[in-house]
Amino acid sequence: MPRSKKSSTVAMDRLFVKILARLGQLTVKEDYLGKDVHAMWEPDGTITINPAVSVVDSILHECLHELHPEWSETTVLQQTGKLMAYLSDAQVGQIYGEYRRRIEDGE
Residue 89's nearest CA partner among 28, 37, 30 is: 37
- Residues 99 and 22: their CA atoms lie apart, in Å, by 31
Give yes or no for residue 5 having a pLDDT over 80: no
* Cross-strand bridge partners of residue 41: 47
pTM beyond 0.85, yes or no: no
Q: How many domains does the chain have?
A: 1
In this prediction, residues 14-41 reach a mean pLDDT of: 93
**pLDDT, tens digit, for every residue of 38-88?**
999 999 999 999 999 999 999 999 999 999 999 999 999 999 999 999 999
Judge whether 89 lies within some domain: yes
Judge whether 75 lies within some domain: yes
Give the domain range for residue 86.
52-105
Q: How many CB atoms lie within 10 A of CB 96?
A: 19
pLDDT band at 2 (very low <50, low <70, confident <90, very high): low
Write down the pLDDT at residue 3: 60
